[in-house]
Structure 1
Amino acid sequence: MTPSVYETYEATTYPWAQLISVVSFLSIVIGFCSPYWLSNSQDLEEGHFLNTGLWEICFTNYHDYTYRYDRIYDGCYWTLDEEMHVIADQINRPFFVTVQVFFTICFTLSLIGAGLTGILVFCPGEDFERPVLKVAYIDLFISWFFGFLAVIVFGAMGDNRDWMPHWDHNHLSWSFALAVVGVVAEFVAAVLFLVEYRIQKRKESYRQSHGVFPLEGKN
């Protein structure tokens, strides 16, 4: 018997949806945790900032560039560490806090999406898959929305002259690139899960309208 369009779809596209979802999750996790959203070219002899992510920032013999304090920063620090209070107003600008909040929401929802993808992989079955697929694509779309806002804001303002010193030596780095890849892949995965959900719904409607039901206990 010739395979239906639904069977052809399940044999080709559905595994891609799951794979892209995993790639998206891994990219977002690495981007969220790694400290290379913005990097310095390191061709300056004086003290300066080296690199920063959302939660960790590194310096080499750096001091408050407004010269209000004599504290020297050398090494890597958690951006929310109490030691950073001296220069907190320089680092925790409103746009950066917004990026942290939005990408944290994206990261959290991506974790949920990864769990739902795991359920779809290890617990297959159409009746069970439909509600999981619905929750998965809604979750991924919301996660993508917040992640998209985060990378747009950081891409527009992360390397401008109003944030880190020596702005002309700073550039967006690989952690930010991975975050972008993860957000784009998340949108693709959400679309594919939505398509799969609609396919499953149409199959169910076809069965109900034609009185066709799967045989129970069939090997």
Structure 2
Amino acid sequence: MSQLSEYETFEPTTHPWGVTISLISFLAIVISFCSPYWLKNDGELSEGHFLNTGLWEACFSNYHDYTYRYDRIYDGCYWTLDEETHVIAEQLRRPFFVTVQVFYTFCFTLSLLGAGLTGVLILCPGEDFEKYVLKLAYIDLFISWFFGFIAVIVFGAMGDNRDWMPHWDHNHLSWSFGLAVVGVVAEFVAAVLFWVEYRIQKRKESYRQSHGVFTLEGGTKN
């Protein structure tokens, strides 16, 4: 009994929190990835300006090329990669913004994989398989966090500066960007919790192997 009591001290305590925070981070990343409010105008200008933009959609109000080389007017929302925006592509798709798009897309893709792994953990697999899934999950989330961290840092530093969208003094970072930050931070926390849980599982396995603890089936594992 003393061996079993000591063994029970290795029971996992971070697993539910890791799953919960992982799902919260996934939801925040998905919403921020799809929503067009990373940068928003304050609305004080009547026309001829940019309204708001996300990673994949930008909205304008009677806006034209800032160099006045073209007569094309943009009024409404446009996909940032659409050929229709070729007139303002030089301004819209600056290198820093393309970098943010690429890195946050990697983050989003890996977050999808992380959500799938979290779903597997919810289904309560066998202990050996669970340990394997935990390892994949924390590695995946750490890599996803790295890409997301770079994306939000770059956009936070350059998204509302005077060298990108017009009337920079009327633009500010908006709620989609805030959700991206929340998602990336939560993803790091979830990765750490899964890593801790994986270490607990490893210690449990090591303890069983060294002490021959009785299993539920009535045998021992040496």
Same fold (TM over 0.5): yes
C-alpha separation in 2, matches of 1:213 and 1:178: 47
Please state whether the residue corresponding to 1:6 is helix, strand or coil: coil
Q: % of aligned pairs identical?
A: 81
Superposed counterparts of 1:202-213, under 5 Å: 202-213=203-214
Instruction: State the partner residue of 2:69.
Output: 68
C-alpha separation in 1, matches of 2:178 and 2:141: 19
Please state whether the residue corresponding to 2:10 is helix, strand or coil: helix
Instruction: State the partner residue of 2:32.
Output: 31
C-alpha separation in 1, matches of 2:205 and 2:178: 41
Superposed counterparts of 1:1-219, under 5 Å: 4-7=8-11, 9-10=12-13, 13-216=14-217
Residue 213 of structure 1 deviates from its aligned partner by 4.8
C-alpha separation in 2, matches of 1:216 and 1:120: 23
C-alpha separation in 2, matches of 1:15 and 1:116: 14
TM-score normalised by structure 2 residue count: 0.93
Structure 2 segments unaligned to the other structure (5+ residues): none
Please state whether the residue corresponding to 2:59 is helix, strand or coil: strand
| Paired amino acid for 2:54 | G
Structure 1 segments unaligned to the other structure (5+ residues): none
Please state whether the residue corresponding to 1:61 is helix, strand or coil: strand
Encode CA deviations 1:119-177: one digit per residue, 9 max, x unaligned.
Answer: 00013321110110001000000000000000000000000000000000000000000
The structure 1 segments of at least 4 consecutive aligned residues displaced by more than 3 Å after TM superposition are 1-4
C-alpha separation in 2, matches of 1:26 and 1:107: 10
Please state whether the residue corresponding to 2:75 is helix, strand or coil: strand
| Paired amino acid for 2:9 | V
C-alpha separation in 1, matches of 2:179 and 2:215: 43
Count residues in correspondence: 215
